[in-house]
């Protein structure tokens, strides 16, 4: 009897041992040389801060030295052109987002790169949402208030964004199109300048990234009216979506990911993808992204390509239908 019980216990223990998860193997280095990670924006902005969180973790985990190279200018086009010119051996990779990989393709008459021809998608890193905000002393307390005021005073209201082609700009254009509102767009050289004018009452509203808007919301400097996601976000659970507020189907996602120069071997791309995928699971990275209102993504290079293609089509149609003038 005891022998039978012991035998049964041993079998059960073996079964338990087999089903226990094994510790994940550390990401493998894809090169023994320093890697330049190009960020097509200034240091300290949302793309820079968010991508550094993930890239620095991947560097620590894989042992690959990563050097951040900020290349702001021309709505991100200068940075992407620098990635395109990089060596296709895994020593140059960089950050690409909704602006540089989707919107700019229809917004500019000519780009110094071709997304399909010159770049290889590596991974979708994160998604970030915008918040529709107004000055704290604004008489507008809802999306419907804003739409009603815009209809009553066509051409009088204005909104700003941190540059042409940004989600703040295109989110405003989507709002104009869906609400049939005549409002003026004022481009700024960076989000902080636009936010200062919003708080000073020189702008009526703005679509700001959660990473930039949340400190001002918490500090009582601006008032949120809605978020640009289809579902409410954890940072602002009491704030409705624009979809809930009456603009059915409204969604603007400030997504970002990693791309490499054309010709980068698939085996190298897969190793970079695996390293970044692992970094996205790190508790410190997930906590850091969540604090800024960003959601970790991940997935395969092919899935990132699908996102780029879908977003390119979405914003191409808006730019055409809204008759937004192309830029040189």
pLDDT mean over 304-316:
97
- The CATH code of domain 35-127+254-321 reads 3.40.190.150
Q: How many residues does the chain have?
A: 328
pLDDT at position 292 over 90: no
Output the pLDDT for position 1.
38
pTM here is 0.86
Contacts of 285 by beta carbon, 8 Å cutoff, 6+ apart: 53, 54, 57, 279, 296
Position 139 pLDDT exceeds 70: yes
pLDDT of residue 314: 95
Decide if pLDDT at 116 tops 50. Answer: yes
CA distance 149 to 263: 52
Give mean pLDDT, residues 94-108: 96
Mean pLDDT across the stretch 250-259?
Answer: 96
pLDDT above 70: residue 40? yes
Question: Among candidates 144, 142, 124, 121, which has minimal Cα distance to 133?
Answer: 142
Average pLDDT, the chain: 91
Output helix, strand, coil percentages for the chain, rounded to the nearest 5: 45, 20, 35
Residue 255 has pLDDT above 60, yes or no: yes
Band (pLDDT 50/70/90 cuts) for residue 188 is confident
Note whether 35-127+254-321 and 130-227 share their fold: yes
pLDDT band at 24 (very low <50, low <70, confident <90, very high): low
Average pLDDT over residues 282-289: 96
* Domains of the chain, residue spans: 35-127+254-321, 130-227
CATH topology of domain 130-227: D-Maltodextrin-Binding Protein; domain 2 (3.40.190)
| Over residues 318-326, mean pLDDT | 89
């Amino acid at each position: 009897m005891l022998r039978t019980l012991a035998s049964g216990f041993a079998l059960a223990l073996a079964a338990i041992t087999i089903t226990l998860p094994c510790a994940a193997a550390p990401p493998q280095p894809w090169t023994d040389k320093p890697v330049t990670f190009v960020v097509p924006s200034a240091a300290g902005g949302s793309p820079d801060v968010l991508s550094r969180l993930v890239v620095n973790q991947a560097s620590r985990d894989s042992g690959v030295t990563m050097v951040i190279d900020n290349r702001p200018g021309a709505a991100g086009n200068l940075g992407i052109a620098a990635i395109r010119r990089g060596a296709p051996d895994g020593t140059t990779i960089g950050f690409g987002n909704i602006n540089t990989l989707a919107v700019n393709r229809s917004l500019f008459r000519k780009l110094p790169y071709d997304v399909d021809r010159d770049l290889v998608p590596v991974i979708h890193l994160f998604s970030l949402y915008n918040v529709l905000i107004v000055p704290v002393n604004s008489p507008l307390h809802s999306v419907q208030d804003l739409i009603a005021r815009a209809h009553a005073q066509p051409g009088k209201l204005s909104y700003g964004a941190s540059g042409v082609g940004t989600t703040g700009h295109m989110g405003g254009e989507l709002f104009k199109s869906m609400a049939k509102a005549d409002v003026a767009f004022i481009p700024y050289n960076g989000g902080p300048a636009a936010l200062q004018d919003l708080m000073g009452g020189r702008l009526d509203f703005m679509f700001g990234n959660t990473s930039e808007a949340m400190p001002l919301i918490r500090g009582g400097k601006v008032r949120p009216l809605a978020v640009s996601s289809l579902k409410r976000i954890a940072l602002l659970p009491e704030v409705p979506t624009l979809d809930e507020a009456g603009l059915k189907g409204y969604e603007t996602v400030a997504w970002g990911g990693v791309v490499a120069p054309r010709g980068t071997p698939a085996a190298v791309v897969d190793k970079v993808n695996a390293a970044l995928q692992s970094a996205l699971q790190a508790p410190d990275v997930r906590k850091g992204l969540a604090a800024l209102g960003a959601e970790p993504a991940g997935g395969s290079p092919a899935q990132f390509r699908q996102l780029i293609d879908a977003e390119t089509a979405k914003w191409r149609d808006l730019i055409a239908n809204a008759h937004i003038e192309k830029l040189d």
